[in-house]
A and B are shown apart, each in its own frame.
Chain A
Amino acid sequence: LAKTTQPISMDSYEGQEVNITCSHNNIATNDYITWYQQFPSQGPRFIIQGYKTKVTNEVASLFIPADRKSSTLSLPRVSLSDTAVYYCLVALRGDTGGFKTIFGAGTRLFVKA
């Protein structure tokens, strides 16, 4: 089962771009890469998902190199409200067609004024 490695914590200032890189060296062909955001005492919130190259939505961009062994979440112009834990997950499709998602340790992002 593919596992992920992320920096434990990061600090940034308001208005800066934040890039969080995740390693997933043993990602399988069927695995998708998904990033979630979690605030204290809340469930994780979906940010973005991708399989390869670059994906962009209204809140973030996700960069995935050709070998797919890592991915980078890019948050443009962060604000104080972006202070949260960010999880990089790999979704592994099982033999029966379903999948399960295993959370890594996550990255605690602290945005300062």
Chain B
Amino acid sequence: GAVVSQHPSRVICKSGTSVKIECRSLDFQATTMFWYRQFPKQSLMLMATSNEGSKATYEQGVEKDKFLINHASLTLSTLTVTSAHPEDSSFYICSARENSGGYEQYFGPGTRLTVT
């Protein structure tokens, strides 16, 4: 089946620094990728929809200047958390859908971000 990878799997950074998380579709092309955030014991919250070659679409309440999304190719989307603060500590998960159609989303393994 289709595989989505994320890098890094875990990152610790100091408050005020920026962190970049990569999401790759390994064996398929994905025009659209999604970024979610999940806090402990809670469900996944959709942050934004990443579209290859165009600007991302952010969900209400998500700061686009803080969470920068770049979808430069059909297999790579990146999420940069700028000027990270402890409240940004969370589990970030990306997903992708194959261009060939269908509604199935393939999820990455997630990235655990801890801001100290």
Main secondary structure of the interface of A (DSSP, over half): strand
Q: Mark A74-87, 1 if CB is under 8 A from B, else 0.
A: 00000000000001
In whole angstroms, what is the CA distance A101 to B97 when docked? 11
| Interface stretch (choices A19-27, A43-51, A63-71) | A43-51
Q: How many residues of B contact A (CB 8 A)?
A: 25
The number of residue pairs between A and B whose CB atoms lie closer than 8 Å in the complex comes to 55
Q: How far is the CA of A106 from the CA of B36 in the complex (A)?
A: 15
A side interface size, CB within 8 A: 21
Cβ contact within 8 Å between A43 and B108: yes
Q: Which residues of B are found within 8 Å of A43, using beta-carbon distances?
A: 4, 6, 93, 95, 107-110
Q: Which residue of B lies closest to A92 (CB)?
A: B103
Mark out the residues of chain B between 24 and 83 whose CB falls within 8 Å of any chain A CB in the assembled complex.
31-32, 34, 36, 43-46, 49, 51
Return the 6 tightest CB-CB contacts between A and B, nearest first: A43-B107, A32-B103, A103-B44, A91-B103, A103-B43, A44-B107
Beyond the given pairs A36-B107, A102-B46, A103-B46, 13 more chain A to chain B contacts, judged by CB atoms under 8 angstroms and listed by A's residue number, are A34-B103, A42-B110, A43-B93, A43-B109, A44-B44, A44-B93, A46-B106, A46-B107, A91-B103, A99-B103, A100-B49, A103-B45, A106-B43
Instruction: Return 28 A-B CB contacts under 8 Å, by A number.
Output: A34-B104, A36-B107, A41-B112, A42-B110, A43-B95, A44-B95, A44-B107, A45-B107, A46-B104, A46-B105, A49-B103, A87-B43, A91-B105, A98-B31, A98-B32, A98-B49, A99-B97, A99-B103, A100-B34, A101-B34, A101-B46, A101-B95, A102-B46, A103-B36, A103-B43, A103-B45, A105-B43, A106-B43
